[in-house]
Structure 1
Amino acid sequence: MNEIDEIDRRILMEVQDNGRITNQELSERVGLSPSPCLRRLKQLEAGKIITQYVALVNPDRVGLGVTAFVRVRLDQQDDRHLSIFEEAVAHIPEVMECYLMTGDADYQLRVLVDDLSAFEDFLRHKLTKIAGVSQLTTSFALRPVVYRTALPIGRQER
C-alpha cells in the first residue's frame, strides 16, 4: 500500500483516538459499510501503516513521576560505536525514546524513572556503563505541556 486516500486518513484518525473502536462504530464514523471498512483496516495493518495497538498508561499513576531528557555524546561516531550504543539502550526499560541527533549531541533520550535516586542509579549503573559514552547532559521536565501519541494525519492545513 503506497498511497492513502481520505477514507484511509479518517480510519487512521479514528483508530488513533480509540484503538478499541468496534468495526461497526468505525464504519459509521468514516462513512463506509462494515465490510469495506474492515477490509481497508486490514490493508492498513498489512501495509505496516498501522503497526500495533497499545494502551496508554499514565506514568504518574504507576509511580514514574520523573521525566528526564538526556543528551549523549559518544567519544567516537563511527558505525561500530553507534551500533554498540543503540543496541545497549534498546534493552534499558527506562529509555522510552532514543533519537540519533544532529548538532552537539549524538543522541537524545527520553527517560522515565520513579524519582531522582532512581535516575542516579540509571545513570551510574546503566547509561555510563555503555562503551563509548563520553558526555551526558540532562534536563528534567517540570510538567508536560503538549503530549500526543496520534499522528496529525488529515489534520494538516492543505
Structure 2
Amino acid sequence: MIHLDSFDLKILAALQAEGRLTNQELADVARLSASQCSRRRARLEEEKIIQGYYADLSADALGFNVIALVQITLATHSPNNAKRFRDLVRRVDAIQEAYALTGDADYLLKIALRDLKSLSDIVNNVLMPHESVAHVRSSIVLDCLKTTRRLPIGKAG
C-alpha cells in the first residue's frame, strides 16, 4: 500500500466530491500551495490512486430506463472458458460492471438498457447462446437506494 498523509487524503476526498477542482481550489481545501497540490495530484495519478476523471451522466435523462442485474453460471470452470466469457463481457457496451463471485453464480453483471426488449435481446441473443454460459438469471432493478463511486477514506484532519 502506498503511504498517504493527511494532505493526500484531503485532496482525494475533495476530488471524489468534485473532480473538476483546480489546483488552487484543492490547495484551499488542503491548506497547501497550488504548486504543492499540483505535484501531489500528479503523484497520485502516476501511482494510479487516481485512475481517471469522469462525468456522472443521468441514465434516465439519456433514456436508459432499465437496469438489470444478471447472474451468470459458466458451462465449465476452466481458465479458457472463463477467458471466453470475460472477452464477451468486454465487447458488450451495455454491461457497466461485471464481478467474479463466490457462491451459486460465477459472475454478476450490471447492465444499463433502454427497455425490456433490449434486456431480452442481450439475454437471448448474446449471453445464453454463448458457449461459455450455462445459466442466466436476471433481476430488474425497481429502485436504486444508493449509488456511489466514493471510497470511504474518511475526512482528513
Report the TM-score when normalising by structure 1.
0.94
CA distance in structure 2 between the partners assigned to 1:14 and 1:116 by the alignment: 38
Q: Does 1:33 align with 2:43?
A: no
CA distance in structure 2 between the partners assigned to 1:119 and 1:143 by the alignment: 17
Matched length: 156
How much is the aligned-residue C-alpha RMSD, in angstroms? 1.4
Q: Which residue of 1 aligns with 2:13?
A: 13
| Matched letter for residue 151 of structure 2 | L
CA deviations 1:24-72 (Å, max 9, x no partner) are 1110011111111110000000001111111010100000010100000
CA distance in structure 1 between the partners assigned to 2:136 and 2:151 by the alignment: 30
Q: Which residue of 2 aligns with 1:84?
A: 84
The secondary structure found in structure 2 opposite 1:61 is: coil
Q: Which residue of 2 aligns with 1:61?
A: 61
Gaps of 5+ in 2: none
1:1-158 equivalences in 2 (<5 Å): 2-154=2-154
**Larger displacement relative to structure 2 (88-97 or 122-131):** 122-131
Preserved contact between residue 10 and residue 154 of structure 1 (Cα < 8 Å)? no
Gaps of 5+ in 1: none
| Matched letter for residue 114 of structure 2 | D
* Alpha-carbon offset, residue 130 of structure 1: 2.1
CA distance in structure 2 between the partners assigned to 1:73 and 1:84 by the alignment: 13
Identity of aligned residues (%): 35
Report the TM-score when normalising by structure 2.
0.95
Segments of 4+ moved more than 3 angstroms: none
CA distance in structure 1 between the partners assigned to 2:129 and 2:64 by the alignment: 23
| Matched letter for residue 85 of structure 2 | F
The secondary structure found in structure 2 opposite 1:131 is: coil
The secondary structure found in structure 2 opposite 1:62 is: coil
CA distance in structure 2 between the partners assigned to 1:8 and 1:118 by the alignment: 43
Preserved contact between residue 74 and residue 135 of structure 2 (Cα < 8 Å)? yes
CA distance in structure 2 between the partners assigned to 1:155 and 1:143 by the alignment: 29
